[in-house]
């Protein structure tokens, strides 16, 4: 086992409770209880460990030490790992394992549905298109910068007066009309391409934020429609009032 990659803050906090991490072992109150292969000495009674010490060992590197802290699983494989980790002979863990196995299919279906709805595994087409445009513009900018560097080197070796004339001829005059993506890629100057790249990044951030909001609402509303036959906007968080029977 290798504990060299554990965060320094976690290691220092663990030492406050008597848990010390070395490169390949764990000691509690100056006594080694877990060796380099993860084994526990035969003469060691781990039941003497306090709950907080067990937390720092079992939940490293981010133990939950208060009721205000929590985590969630959002990948199907995490459910499988949790079930495998639970002790089938433990009094409480066996019961939890049994319940998880009973609802496993529903949990995984819900997780997959959420990930699909929120684009967690695959980006939408419009976002991929913007990213592709950013890559194209970046490649174009790099090529122009390299060409400008080569041209500058060749001009430095020539006549100084010719260099000044060329510099005056290449002075950039901004175009009042904003060029399209195709126009900028075909005949845009370096300054125009740099500006286009900034705009594409801003557009990407806006599109991602917009998609997240839209997809979250769609996902939540689909749940409310299943339970209440209407979306949140239509009062889906409240049960429908019972229809009044007509008076006879």
Are 16 and 54 members of one domain? yes
Cα torsion 36, 39, 44, 49 to 10°: value is 80
Question: What span, in angstroms and rounded, lies between the C-alpha atoms of 39 and 237?
Answer: 51
Whether the CB-CB separation of 114 and 74 falls below 8 Å is answered with: yes
> Does 135 share its domain with 221?
yes
Three-state SS annotation for 66-124 = CCCCCCCCCCHHHHHHHHHHCCCCCCCHHHHHHHHHHHHHHHHHHHHHHHHHCCCCCCC
Q: b or e along 31-45 (b: 16 or more beta carbons within 10 Å of the residue's beta carbon)?
A: eebbeeeeeeeeeee
Q: What is the pLDDT of residues 116-168, one digit of tens each?
A: 777 778 777 888 888 889 998 898 888 888 888 877 766 655 555 554 545 44
Q: Is residue 20 part of a domain?
A: yes
- Whether residues 198 and 217 share a domain: the answer is yes
Which residues are CB-contacts of 211 (< 8 A; sequence separation ≥ 6)? 119, 124, 127
The answer to whether residue 208 is domain-embedded is: yes
Lowest mean pLDDT among 79-93, 113-127, 193-207, 218-232: 218-232
- Domain hosting 17: range is 8-59
Evaluate whether residue 48 is within a structural domain: yes
Residues 139 and 214 reside in one and the same domain: yes
Cβ pair 127, 118 in contact under 8 A: no
What are residue 232's DSSP bridge partners?
none
- Is there a domain that residue 152 lies in? no
> Do residues 127 and 142 share a domain?
yes
Tokens of residue 221, six digits: 């509303």
Strands 26-28 and 31-34, by their bridges, are antiparallel
85 found inside a domain: yes
Which of 24-38, 70-84, 97-111, 208-222 is the least confident region?
208-222
Least trusted range by pLDDT, from 5-14, 92-101, 155-164, 175-184:
155-164
Specify whether 19 is located in the same domain as 92: no
Are residues 224 and 190 part of one domain? yes
The structure's pTM equals 0.48
Whether 39 and 106 share a structural domain? no
226 in the same domain as 127: yes
Residues 53 and 13 placed together within one structural domain of the fold? yes
224 shares a domain with 127: yes
Specify the number of domains making up the chain: 3
Q: List strand residue ranges (DSSP E) for the chain, in order.
A: 19-21, 26-28, 31-34
With cut-offs at 50, 70 and 90, classify the pLDDT of residue 83. Answer: very high
User: What pLDDT, on a 0 to 100 scale, did the predictor assign at position 172?
Assistant: 47
Q: Do 220 and 129 reside in the same domain of the chain?
A: yes
Q: 60-74, 154-168, 184-198: lowest mean pLDDT where? A: 154-168
> In the sheet that 31-34 helps form, which strands lie side by side, from edge to edge?
19-21, 26-28, 31-34
Within-domain flag for 25:
yes
Length of the chain: 248
Q: Is the pLDDT of residue 216 over 70?
A: no
């Amino acid at each position: 086992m290798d504990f060299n990659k554990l965060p320094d803050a976690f290691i220092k906090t663990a030492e406050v409770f008597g848990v010390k991490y070395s490169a390949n072992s764990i000691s509690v109150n100056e006594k080694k209880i877990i060796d380099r292969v993860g084994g526990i000495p035969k003469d060691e009674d781990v039941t003497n460990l306090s709950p907080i010490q067990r937390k720092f060992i079992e939940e490293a590197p981010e133990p939950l030490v208060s009721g205000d802290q929590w985590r969630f699983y959002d990948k199907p494989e995490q459910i499988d790992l949790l079930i495998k980790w639970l002790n089938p002979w433990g009094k409480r863990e066996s019961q939890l394992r049994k319940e998880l196995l009973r609802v496993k299919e529903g949990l995984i279906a819900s997780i997959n549905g959420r990930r699909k709805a929120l684009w967690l595994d695959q980006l939408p087409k419009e976002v991929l298109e913007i990213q592709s445009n950013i890559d194209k513009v970046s490649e174009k900018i790099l090529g122009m910068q390299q060409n400008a560097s080569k041209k500058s080197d060749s001009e430095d070796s020539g006549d100084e007066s010719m260099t000044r004339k060329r510099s005056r001829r290449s002075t950039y005059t901004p175009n009042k009309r904003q060029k399209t993506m195709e126009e900028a890629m075909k005949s845009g100057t370096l300054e125009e391409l740099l500006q286009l790249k900034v705009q594409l990044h801003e557009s990407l951030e806006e599109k991602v934020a917009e998609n997240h909001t839209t997809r979250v609402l769609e996902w939540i509303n689909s749940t409310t429609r299943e339970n209440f036959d209407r979306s949140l906007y239509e009062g889906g968080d409240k049960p429908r009032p019972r229809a009044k029977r007509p008076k006879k």
